[in-house]
Chain A
Amino acid sequence: MASEPLDSVTVDHARSASPVRSPTVAAGIDPAQRDRWRWFQRGLPYISVLVFLGVWQVVGDHIDPILLATPVNTAKAFWDLLTSGQLGPAFGSAMADLGIGYGLAVVVGVVVGILMGRSRTAERVLNPYVNFFQATPLIALVPLIVIWFGVGLEARVAVTFMLAIWSIIINTATGVKETPDALIDVGRVYKLSRLQLVSRVALPHAVPSIFAGLRIALGKALIGMVIAQMEVSVSGLGGLIINYGNAFKTAYLLAAVFTASLVGMIAAALLEVLRRWWFPWTTNDDRNLW
């Protein structure tokens, strides 16, 4: 039996080859073919990217370099930025602005969110402001922030903070508020104090919601950081983007843009690591969409 070629498999073959039929074989599908298909499926994202890069390169070669820089030229520009010492500080300042602004938003946002989730009074008092800012296109507030905070680090941090915090507040409040009454009852029956009810029941329950809020807020913080680095001061990555854009040096522009993407990807990965480490029982689905 083992020497028979498997390019056409009948059910009889399968039955005589082993006493237990796999579902694949039972359906008449050749296992080797199935494996090849699986490898193809897994490779699709990489194949797709390679094809895209190829097309991009070819198109870029035949088009005005100001309109579109080829992948090769973008890579060269990136290397140049890196080695000439421009990229390092820009990257660093981007991470710093993002880190400080987002970090502050997380701390303040979670605290305010818990407050609003647990206290009806706090919720009623603060709701108008939260709703107002959630509805406003926050970028419109940048000039105001410049007037208040100037054009330095504080102002950029303020912009990042301002864009990020509302999603965190809303998602935290929702998560805390949705704590099932049964779990609160459990806490009360077993004599948890009011503080313990928050820290040991409501908060752990709210963690998935909070993380959904954190993920959304990170995206917004990233936007805030880049805008701040373009509008508040012309510095860091945002500065590189604006300057190279104004100079029509598209390859360098794209290189800076990709660096910004890198910042975003690193931050998201860090958030994910944190989530898996501290809250291993949570999953990745977003439960709220603001």
Chain B
Amino acid sequence: MTAMGGARIEISGVGKRYAQRRNSAHVVLQDITLTIESGEFVSLVGASGCGKTTLLRMISGLAPYYPGTISIDGQVVRGVPKRVGFVFQDAALLPWKTVSGNVAVGLNEVRGSYTRQEIAGVVEEKLALVGLSEHAHKYPRQLSGGQQQRAGLARALVGEPELLLMDEPFGALDAFTRLRLQEELADIVERLRTTTVFVTHDVEEAVFLSDRVVAMGANPGTVRDVVDVDLPRPRTSREAALNSARGIELRENILQLVMGTHTDRVAH
């Protein structure tokens, strides 16, 4: 398993507003400035409406037209950048393709330079990575929610992306599956070290997985603070990480930031 390089993202003075009736505008994001280093795992955490998904989509090139700039490795983002993997909230698999077929879609960008066997090989490898080898020939409707998300993850990873973007990937799953997938993702992330931007409203999830957590507030969407998660790596156990003294401190701190009840007495 080769460790992938990672993109470096610079977000500067970025905002987003939607026009509404009667000349008023809904400001979804305001003046976001942020740098994400190569190989970092950064979570965007906040309540609904804080613009975290919008920001993610802007980084991915899916939502253009905004003031400010977003650059990846020095290049301003225009359209979808190269070698991006995106995991959607509800897997978004193509129902008429098998699991293998869906994962292969992730290779579309580089399809021309691979033979069919090579493609099949890489797809198999990534399916094994997410634990779906036995389900390669099934259709999405035959899979559980957790399995569909794993397939979505495999699709995002198959092209060896420089940048991994995940939009509340475990949000639609039941609690047990969610916990399990968090630990599996932590393991994968440990091995691959791709730059990852992870959107969630679950503070614990963010603390467990991330190097840094961006706590966002809503109305308008802004960055309230960026917290260093200095828990030891590798993060193999949720228990150990989240219930350590430092873990509890971080969770409390970030939760208060997100809820807007932060006071200066809690050090970070």
Contact = CB atoms under 8 A, between A and B. Distances in A.
> Is A bound to B?
yes
Interface of A: 180, 182-183, 185-186, 188-192, 196, 201, 204-205, 207, 279, 281
B92 A201 contact: no
Given A189-B60, A204-B96, A182 B88 contact: yes
B226 interface: no
Given A189-B84, A189-B86, A201 B94 contact: yes
A127 to B, nearest CB: 25
B94 A191 contact: no
Contacts of A204: 94, 96
Interface string B86-111: 10101010111000000001101100
Nearest to B97: A204
A281 B106 contact: no
Given A182-B88, A204-B96, 19 more contacts: A180-B92, A182-B90, A182-B92, A183-B92, A185-B86, A185-B88, A185-B92, A186-B105, A189-B61, A190-B105, A190-B106, A190-B109, A190-B155, A191-B108, A192-B108, A201-B94, A204-B94, A205-B95, A281-B139
B80 interface: yes
A277 to B, nearest CB: 14
B62 A185 contact: yes
B94 A186 contact: yes
A113 B229 CA distance: 53
A204 B155 CA distance: 19
Contacts of A192: 108
A279 B108 CA distance: 23
8 A-B pairs with the lowest CB-CB distances in the bound complex, closest first: A182-B92, A191-B109, A189-B86, A190-B108, A204-B96, A186-B92, A281-B96, A190-B105
A279 B96 CA distance: 9
B80 A191 contact: yes
**Central interface residue in A182, A191, A196, A281, by most chain B CB within 10 Å:** A191
Nearest to B91: A182
